[in-house]
A = this chain, B = another copy of it.
Amino acid sequence: MIIAVDGMGGDHSPAEIVKGCIYALEEISGSIFIIGDEKRIQKELSQYQYDNDRITIIHTTEIITNEDQPVKAVRSKKDSSIVVGMKMVKEKKVDIFISAGNTGALMTSALLILGRIPEIDRPAITAVYPNPAIKKACLLVDAGANSECKVNNLVEFGIMGSIYCEKVLNIKNPRVGLVNIGTEPGKGTPIIKGAYKALEKTNLNFIGNVEARDLQNSAADVIVCDGFVGNVVLKLSEGVAFAFIELVKRKLKESILAKLGALLLIGKLKELKKELDYSEYGGAPILGVKGAVIKMHGSSEAKGVKNAIIRAIPYIENNVVDMIHDEVSKLHTASTEEEHNE
C-alpha cells in the first residue's frame, strides 16, 4: 500500500506534514510518498530516524497556494504537488492522496484528473464536524463544493457519507440526518422536502430532519445538506466557538477572584481549544470521484497528518470508492425499475 501525502499544502508545511508522516510510519504498514520540494522535505526528514525504504520524495517544482484561483492553478501549475499527487492516484501509482492544500484546487483537480464516478451527479467535499462536549464527531456532506443542490445530489451525499462512516470510521448502521428548519417531515424548501421523501426510500438508516441546534449533540452520524448550508454550519461553529473563548477570557479578567480561578483553569482552557480543533480529527474525504482523496484542515499539525494517514488504511482496504459506485448503481437500477413498474 502506498499513501501519497502533499508535502507543500497547509499552514505548517512541510515541517508538520513530514513529522506527521514519520509518526504514521510507526502505526501503519506500507509506505509513504511525500510530494513536493525535495530539498525542503529532505531537510525536514533528516531530523528523524526512520526506515528509508518506506518514505520516498516525489519532487515537484510548483506550489498551489490558498490565494490561487483553483481552476486556473490546476490547469497551469502542472508540476504542483496537488496535480502530481492526483495524477499518481489516477495512474494507480499510489492508493490515495492526502493534502492540506487549497480545497478548491483539490476538488477541481479531483474532478478534472480523476473524474467523477459516472452514477454520481455531483461529488462532494466532506468535513468532520466535531461535537467536543460529547467527545464525538459526525461527517458533514456537502461541506462547500455544491452551493446549490438537487434532490438526487442530497440523496447521493447520504449514501456516500454512510458508506464512508461505516467502512472508515467504523460506525455500524450510521444514522443519516437531513439539515432542516424543523424536525417534521413537511418542513423546508421543495428540494429539502423532496430529499426527505427520497432518502426515506433508500436502505439508509435515515433518521429524518435534524435542526441546526442539535448538530452539536451528535443528532446523526452523517449530516446531509447543500454546500451553502454546510459552509455556514462549519464557519459559524468556528466563529461562535472563538467568540465564546473571547467571552470567557473577558469574564475571567473582570475580578481578582475570577483571575485566580482562571489561573487554576488555564490548562483546562488550553485543552478546550484543542478539543475544538478540527485538525485533530485527521481530515475528511472528497467523495464521488474515481479515486481516494482526503482533505486535511489547512492548519493541520503533525497529529492531524498522522490521523489522516491512519484513516487512509481502511479507506483503501475496504475499497470505499468501488463500494460507492456499486451502491449508487443499485439505487439507479432500483429507481429505473420503479419507473418501469409505475
Contact = CB atoms under 8 A, between A and B. Distances in A.
A251 B269 CA distance: 8
Contact of A228 (B144, B188, B217, B264): B188
Contacts of A237: 236, 240
Given A257-B264, A265-B261, A212 B235 contact: yes
Interface in A287-325: none
* Best-buried of A211, A234, A235, A247 by chain B (most CB within 10 Å): A247
A50 interface: no
Interface residues of A, number: 59
B243 A131 contact: yes
A109 to B, nearest CB: 19
Contact of A239 (B147, B212, B243): B212
B213 A235 contact: yes
A115 interface: no
Contacts of A148: 189-190
A68 interface: no
A198 interface: no
A212 B181 CA distance: 17
A338 interface: no
A232 interface: yes
A1 interface: no
The 5 closest A-B pairs by CB, nearest first: A261-B264, A216-B243, A212-B236, A213-B235, A213-B239
Identical chains in the assembly:
2
Interface string A233-255: 11111111111101110111011
A277 interface: no
A144 B213 CA distance: 14
A285 interface: no
B268 A188 contact: no
A71 interface: no
Contact of A247 (B227, B261, B275): B275
11 contacts: A148-B189, A212-B231, A212-B236, A212-B239, A213-B242, A216-B236, A232-B236, A236-B237, A258-B265, A261-B262, A261-B268
Interface string A201-241: 00000000001111111000000000111011111111111
A98 to B, nearest CB: 24
B211 A235 contact: yes
A263 interface: yes
B271 A228 contact: no
A255 B265 CA distance: 9
Contacts of A212: 231-236, 239
Contacts of A131: 243
Nearest to A132: B247
B246 A244 contact: no
A179 B215 contact: no
A239 B217 contact: yes
B236 A251 contact: no
A265 B269 CA distance: 13
A28 interface: no
* Best-buried of A215, A263, A264, A272 by chain B (most CB within 10 Å): A264
